[in-house]
Amino acid sequence: MHRDILKKLIDLAPTLIPIIIAYFEVIGLFGNINLIVATIRRKHLRTKHGVLLALTTFYQTLCLLGELANFGSALYGGPHKQNLCFLVMTPYIWFCCMQSTMFLVLSLDTLFSVLCPLKHMVTRLWIYVSILSIPPVVYAALIISLNAVELFYGESRNNTVVICNPPLSMDPTIASFWVNWNGFSNLGVLCIHFTIYLIVTKREKKQLELGRVVKDASDKHDQKQDRKPPPMRKTLSMTSLGAQVKKAVERKRVLISLMWLVAIFSCTWCTCMLSQVIVSWMPPSDMTIVVETYAVIFALMAYSVNYYVYFARNQTYRKVFLEQLGCLLPERFRNGTVWNRSQSYGSLHTLAGRSTVHTLPSSRHQSKYGANRQSSNRIEPRGF
């Protein structure tokens, strides 16, 4: 019974895989192109993390386009010569290596920004991005070179494969190394994110303790300021309270975003690579063929998910995405109540999460010029 199910899945692969690929091509390319265009259009999204995210999304877009070769081989039917399949899949394997390494780069960037925020802030953007782009390029060049030598000059040059995809088109030994490196680097990414979570949580506890000390000292200080008018004392306390509230909101946002990113990463790319690692340790069988063939579903999810995660969990990106969607949708829909409510929701949450609490000493200190100047301050939300 178990063997019959595996045989059925293998027989259905040429039919199911093209349908799944076509579905993710549509939603993945739409989301990825939107995210890349948003980063190019909006300067406040071109932070270090934002540019690295856009680069990763660009590599994933090319991986989605590379899946069209998988789509064509599934429609054409097999078997295929492995070395010719590798030639067709070379661009896909190259960008697949780059985007998988960029996951590790993004996690290291987040860790660096948490441990050394000042150095991370003052480092020049394009120098920083260029240096972090070197490891993905080196890793991709190494994998492609080793496979080319083995498939065209080694013992694997006459092998055939059922369907063209990255693990099946590679030499088995190099594919095993590729899969194991991706799998263990993904575990490294999870460990780094867990470390970031511990650091941020520990700092939050220290900030809470420090806040209590500062509040007690502020109360004692306020008691000594009896000669100051009451509105001024209110200004000092409200300013301190506003700063503490803003920091608490920022810490909570970082933790929630971090947990979502780790969850999505674990369910998509990490699952894909770890399943490949497990079957690479097993002898060839119908089970290994099924896992290697259908693991592409998790890879396609990983290639397509960035836009939708940031749309759901990041108010800064959501506001830009809604603006871009407004350019694509008909004017009749844009004037609807639901669309206006969605835009207002994204804008209000962005301003609430980013704005600073301002208080004035008293009403007699305000003038119409001061009020106008304060209301004209432009609050522009930052990216990550």
Q: Check whether the bond before 135 is cis (ω within 30° of 0).
A: no
Which residue in 92, 71, 68 sits closest to 17, CA to CA?
Answer: 71
pTM for this predicted structure: 0.74
Q: Which residue has the tokens 């932070």?
A: 47
Q: Each residue's pLDDT tens digit in the chain (384 positions)?
A: 577 888 888 888 778 888 898 899 999 999 999 999 999 999 999 989 899 999 999 999 999 998 887 777 767 766 778 888 888 889 999 999 998 898 889 889 888 988 888 888 888 999 999 999 999 999 999 999 998 888 877 766 667 777 777 877 888 888 888 888 888 888 888 888 888 888 888 877 777 776 666 566 666 655 665 555 555 444 545 555 556 556 556 556 656 666 677 778 778 888 888 888 888 788 878 888 888 778 888 989 999 999 998 898 888 899 999 988 888 776 665 555 555 555 555 444 444 444 443 444 444 444 444 444 444 444 334 333
Q: Hunting for tokens 């972090």 — which residue is that?
A: 132
Identity of the residue numbered 171? D
pLDDT in tens, 67-92: 887 777 767 766 778 888 888 889 99
Could you tell me the two tokens for 145? Answer: 């070179």
The token pair at 338 is 């639901």
Which residue ranges form the domains of the chain, and what is each CATH number? 12-313 (1.20.1070.10)
Q: Using alpha carbons only, how large is the chain's radius of gyration in Å? A: 26
∠ CA 124-127-129 to the nearest 5 degrees? 100
Element holding 80 (H helix, E strand): strand 80-81
Amino acid 344: pLDDT: 53
Measured from the Cβ of residue 189, the count of other Cβ atoms closer than 10 Å reads 23
Cβ(255)–Cβ(197) under 8 Å? yes
**Tens-digit pLDDT profile for residues 7-37:** 888 888 778 888 898 899 999 999 999 999 9
Burial state string for 301-325 with b = 16 or more CB within 10 A and e = fewer than 16: bbbbbbbbbbbebbbbbbbbbbeeb
Sign (positive or negative) of CA dihedral 257, 263, 268, 272? positive
How is residue 305 written in tokens?
Answer: 């998910």
Q: What is the pLDDT of residue 64?
A: 92
What is the distance between the alpha carbons of residues 16 and 13, in angstroms, rounded to a whole number?
Answer: 5
DSSP H/E element including 12: helix 2-41
- E strand or H helix at 345: helix 337-354
Residue 82: is it exposed, middle or buried by C-beta count within 10 angstroms (0-12/13-18/19+)?
A: buried
Name which of 2, 18, 63, 72 is nearest 268 in CA terms: 63
| Spatial distance between the Cα atoms of 111 and 143, rounded to a whole number of angstroms | 27
Helix (H) or strand (E) holding 161: strand 160-161
Q: What is the largest CA-CA distance in the chain?
A: 92
Which pLDDT belongs to residue 384? 37
Residue 149: which residues within 8 A CB-CB, separation 6 or more? none
